[in-house]
Chain A
Amino acid sequence: MGNIVEFRHIDAGYGRIQILSDLSFEVEEGQVYGVIGPNGSGKSTMFNALLGIIRPTAGAIYFDNIDITRTPPHIRCRMGIGRTFQIPRPFEHMSVYENVLIAAVHGTGQSEKKAGYAAIDALKLTGLYEKRELLSGELPLLDRKRLEVARAIGTQPKLLLLDEVAAGLTDAEVKDMMKLVKGLKDSGYSIIWIEHIIQTMLGSTDRLMCMAQGSSVIEGEPQEVINSKTVQTLYLGVDDNE
């Protein structure tokens, strides 16, 4: 199988502040690709670059072997990139159902009626079906994170970007989320999963990259990466507490 995503020597940031520097990595189709790294190392920024919320100042991004470096976000979404936000950003004045409906209508271009059924499927998959008529702004954190996933799935992506969907949840909720991701992988999505908690990543990913200061410091088999000196030093004193 080919690569679903390639970052080639990407420099990117916000305005004049450069965050990513010379970031390169490849994600194989069908994989769950884990990304760890200390806070502020640029993981979420990498997602912003991949979705086109920010434009790289150097380098190129490939999706499905197509250069998307200059493609606007909504087209990247239609090409098959579905993202979640680390801090959930639902359409607060709309119902859970409407949130996913919008994703299914605009992310795929299908009719509103068809999209409605697709939205229902995404809601069932993420366990939000019972809450579909609630205002999304009134949801508790776990459900907001689920809604992020549901909305991303609603756009019928090939590649799912999960940004700390397990952070801030209780142990039981984390297990739920891991199960959900496992299920998504089995149904054929490629996934890039950012998480701060090392333990979660160990059991759920096929490959792992560790980022620090805007670039990739180590990449490989999850177990190897976590045992590596680089990661041990980066996470020293952080790992025990979190």
Chain B
Amino acid sequence: MLKRKFTPSHVKVLDSPPMLILCIVLAVGLYIGCFAGLISNKAMRYLVQIFLYITMGEMWNLLSGYAGMTSLGQQLYIGLAGYSVAMATSPLFGLPLFGALLLGAGISVVVSLFMSLILFRLEGMYFSIATLVAAEAFCMLFFAWKFVGQGAGMTIRINPYPTLQEICILSMTICVVALALVYGLLRTRVGLGLTAMRDDITSAASVGVNIFSHKLLVYVIAAFFTALAGGIFFVNKGMIYPDSGFGISWTISMVFIAIIGGTGTVSGPIIGAIIYVFLNEKLADYPGWSNIILGTITILVILFLPNGIMGTLQKKLHFEIFSSKRFSFKLKKAAKEK
């Protein structure tokens, strides 16, 4: 009995200095690469997608994987941000890119606060469906709205238009900030509460976790970052129309990324996003089939790797990247030092 004092999964944690240093080196390397123009345009195009999808996947994971809010309508904030950027930077208003992105994210935060009044009365399936309906409703609204070009959409005309290099640096920054924020959040007391909610929401409430405030915080953070990522996505694309902004395929990609990578882990969506971007590139040759194939893969992963790639690897190989685990022996050391 004493032999199993500690399960190995609790011993090796790769969030310790070497892992963090590696991440920082990687990030700094990519930054320098981008600034110095060492990265080819093709690679940068991939990188932009990966950074943006990591951000969105990480946010969806925070919502669904941790706080138990399986939203099928995060595209609401992507669409809102995309249109905000398109409108605010048009010659009529002439806002710079930064201002427009922040405006889009700000509008999304306001809308998310308003939405939470309605959505947080609902649970489970009803919550999910309501989020989807809300996104669809906005889609209709923009379809009918003359100023934004109705079904034909808008071309984004920022002056001067940011280069691919600038877009890449911007998306990378947002991705890094989002990751740092999620990781940092999980290491606070709020993170303890969120991890508890991930495992059992009723138990969490019973030991004093304020479910409502945790949900609200996560929902607003997710709206903010999803909107930033969405805004940049459309800057990169150059145009937006209702279906591309508010379409359900956004949800499909976020679900795919989080589930393939592993929900309830920080590292999961990173792997998920990388796989998604490359797979999506390959699937571009088979239009119409891509969602079916992504859906099939998602179902297979749910059936055979319920913890996703990172979740399964972590379990099998006994390690954890970006871990939010707390150790009692850290406490003991602190006590001895005193």
Contacts and interface: CB of A to CB of B under 8 A. Distances in A.
Contacts of B9: 135
B200 A106 contact: no
Given A95-B10, A133-B328, A102 B196 contact: yes
A53 B205 contact: yes
A19 interface: no
A77 B10 contact: no
Interface stretch (B19-27, B103-111, B208-216): B208-216
B6 A102 contact: no
Contacts of B199: 90-94
Contacts of B7: 133-135, 138
Interface stretch (A5-13, A56-64, A107-115): A107-115
B331 A120 contact: yes
B198 A78 contact: no
Interface residues of B, number: 35
Interface residues of A, number: 43
A109 to B, nearest CB: 8
Contact of A106 (B6, B193, B212, B334): B193
Interface string A49-86: 00101000000000000000000111001100011010
Q: Is the interface of B mostly helix, strand, loop or mixed?
A: helix
Given A94-B195, A120-B331, A155 B203 contact: no
A97 B264 contact: no
B10 A133 contact: yes
Q: Is the interface of A mostly helix, strand, loop or mixed?
A: helix
B321 to A, nearest CB: 15
Interface string B270-304: 00000000000000000000000000000000000
Given A74-B205, A74-B209, A133-B6, A97 B200 contact: no
A103 B196 CA distance: 9
Interface string B307-332: 00000000000000000011111010
Contact of B328 (A51, A78, A132): A132
The 6 closest A-B pairs by CB, nearest first: A107-B208, A91-B199, A77-B208, A103-B207, A106-B208, A73-B205
27 contacts: A53-B205, A90-B199, A90-B203, A93-B264, A95-B10, A95-B325, A97-B328, A98-B195, A98-B326, A102-B204, A102-B207, A103-B208, A105-B189, A106-B209, A107-B207, A112-B189, A113-B334, A116-B331, A119-B328, A120-B328, A120-B331, A133-B6, A133-B328, A134-B6, A134-B7, A135-B9, A138-B7
